[in-house]
Amino acid sequence: MKIATWNVNSIRQRESHVCRWLERISPDILLLQEIKCEAHAFPAAAFERIGYRAEAIGQKAYNGVAVLARVPFEVTHRALPGLGPEDAQARYIEIVAAGVTIIGIYLPNGNSGGEAGYAYKLAWMDALHARVALLLEQDTPLVVTGDFNVCPTDEDFAPGTLGAGDALVRPETRARFRALLWLGLTDAIRAVRPTGAVWTFWDYQAGAWPRDRGLRIDHALLSPTIAERLVSAVADRAVRGEEQPSDHVPVVVEIG
């Protein structure tokens, strides 16, 4: 099974990009983030024409996640358990496909809204930790993937791109990411390439793409039984060089 994640930064602007990529790479499942539209406006028909069923959890102009799959799947959660009904941000989808639970997330950035905005990021990470812990306690084959808005180590961003106070690298952020891994999850990219620059995001500003000044903030974390079956994990950086691209590129994980 080939599972991919991609923050498309507006599906209505990148619909053709996603269709071309699906036809070229043919993943079984693609998790999307930052679709920036309500569910009724998601272009599901375009993806159905090329063999992908779509399920979207949208929000007007902001956030939003979706699943595109050419294999049968069931949506089991449309919001992160533990945050409560007052949380209206569309950032979480959980599905089951071929006996594997797959979670797609768009984790809050944490740099806007002052300390309250950062507190929301941490609360979100705590709720995610609780959900993953429960699933692992139940021996659930699990993939957690998406835009985490976390650079786990200093090796995960180009020198000078982020300050020490950025929410993507603050100690509290990194501690919560490590806590997820300590539950027993494997960082797929680092399992394949333990060291070195692997970027999944390049800002539109300051010549970040031509200067290759990127970040690694899109991740795929695997439960032990899935990690044992890991064949490959790559960031498809060629997509960033297309016309009018997203500022993120897909991460593709192949499970044997």
Q: What is the mean pLDDT of the chain?
A: 97
Q: Are 74 and 47 in contact (CB under 8 A)?
A: no
Give me the residues paired with residue 4 across strands. 30, 252
| Beta strand pairing call for 74-77 and 92-97 | antiparallel
Domains assigned to the chain:
2-255 (3.60.10.10)
CA dist., res. 34 & res. 25, Å (int): 21
In the predicted model, what is the mean pLDDT of residues 149-161? 98
Q: Are 18 and 6 in contact (CB under 8 A)?
A: yes
- Phi, psi at residue 137, to the nearest 5°? -60, -30
Q: Which residue has the tokens 């991919």?
A: 4
CA angle 158, 20, 239 (to 5 degrees): 10
Question: The whole model's pTM is what?
Answer: 0.98
Q: CB neighbours of 104 closer than 8 A, spacing ≥ 6?
A: 5, 31, 32, 33, 65, 66, 67, 92, 93, 94, 95, 145, 146
pLDDT digits (tens, 9 = 90+) for 193-209: 999 999 999 999 999 99
pLDDT at 250 over 90: yes
Eight-state DSSP code of residue 253: E
pLDDT digits (tens, 9 = 90+) for 28-80: 999 999 999 999 999 999 999 999 999 999 999 999 999 999 999 999 999 99
Q: CB neighbours of 146 closer than 8 A, spacing ≥ 6?
A: 5, 7, 31, 33, 65, 103, 104, 105, 106, 107, 218, 219
What's CA 143's distance to the chain center, in Å? 11
Confidence at residue 23, expressed as pLDDT on a 0 to 100 scale: 98
Eight-state DSSP code of residue 248: B
> E-assigned strands of the chain?
2-7, 29-33, 53-57, 65-69, 74-77, 92-97, 100-106, 142-147, 186-187, 218-222, 230-235, 251-255
Residue 119: exposed, middle, or buried by beta-carbon count in 10 A (0-12, 13-18, 19+)? middle
What's CA 240's distance to the chain center, in Å? 16
pLDDT digits (tens, 9 = 90+) for 167-181: 999 999 999 999 999
